[in-house]
């Protein structure tokens, strides 16, 4: 595998692939290697605040990757706008927990990539739960009111 410091992502598709590979592998170093070096990066996790810059984004991914159960991701409903220096990808992140055969959560995500001197890098990840996912979480909480149901979808 290529060292993270020299990771040169030749396309927005490759950057997206590395982003989701790092997410599934709980690999913080690989996750942050996909983000742009610029200060104007932004990340909005489902129902979360707007995070700006490396420090806030790194901290959020540290918490997510350290506290999430093993997951599998399958992207569906992919749409894209690709330009010479900017690419916008709209995806559904279908999140599978453990060995489940059906996704437990589906997240609408928008990923924006910029071509830099180090190759393509992510500059925005904005994720929002689908209405079905919100309903699923509400049902889990109401069915098990006494249990500590604290599920982070990412």
CATH at residue 127: 3.10.450.50
Q: Which of 20-24, 35-39, 108-112, 136-140 has the lowest mean pLDDT?
A: 136-140
Least confident of 12-26, 110-124, 138-152: 138-152
154 within a domain of the structure (yes/no): no
Read off the pLDDT band of 1 (50, 70, 90): very low
Cα–Cα dist 37/61, whole Å: 16
Residue 11 domain-assigned? yes
Please give the radius of gyration of the chain, using alpha carbons only, rounded to the nearest integer. 16
Provide the residue range defining the domain that includes 126.
4-143
25 part of a folded domain: yes
d(CA 65, CA 36): 19
Beta bridge partners of 74: 94
Q: Is residue 8 part of a domain?
A: yes
pLDDT at 4 over 60: no
- In 8-130, which ranges are continuous DSSP H helix? 12-25, 28-34, 53-67
pLDDT given at position 5: 55
Per-residue pLDDT tens over the stretch 67-123: 988 899 999 999 999 999 999 999 999 999 888 899 989 999 999 999 999 899 999
Q: Please indicate, yes or no, if residue 112 is contained in any of the structural domains.
A: yes
Dist. CA 13–CA 88, nearest whole Å: 10
Please report whether residue 150 resides in a domain. Answer: no
The SS3 assignment for 2 reads coil
More confidently predicted of 116 and 154: 116
Residue 111: inside a domain: yes
pLDDT band at residue 7, thresholds of 50, 70 and 90? confident
How many domains is the chain partitioned into structurally?
1
Is the model's pLDDT at 135 over the cut of 90? no
Q: Span 135-142, mean pLDDT?
A: 80
pLDDT, tens digit, 9 for 90 and up, residues 30-58? 999 999 999 999 999 999 999 999 999 99
């Amino acid at each position: 595998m290529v060292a993270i410091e020299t990771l040169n992502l030749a396309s927005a598709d490759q950057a997206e692939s590395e982003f989701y590979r790092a997410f599934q592998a709980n690999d913080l170093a690989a996750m942050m290697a996909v983000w742009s070096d610029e200060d104007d990066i932004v990340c909005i996790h489902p129902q979360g605040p707007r995070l700006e810059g490396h420090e806030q984004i790194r901290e959020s991914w540290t918490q997510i990757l350290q506290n999430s159960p093993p997951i599998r991701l399958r992207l569906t409903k992919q749409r894209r706008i690709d330009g010479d220096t900017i690419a916008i990808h709209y995806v559904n992140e279908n999140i599978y927990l453990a060995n489940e055969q059906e996704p437990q959560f589906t997240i609408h995500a928008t990923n924006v990539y910029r071509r830099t001197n180090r190759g393509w890098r992510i500059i925005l990840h904005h994720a929002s739960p689908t209405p079905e996912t919100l309903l699923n979480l509400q049902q889990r909480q109401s069915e098990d009111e006494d249990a500590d149901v604290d599920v982070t979808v990412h």
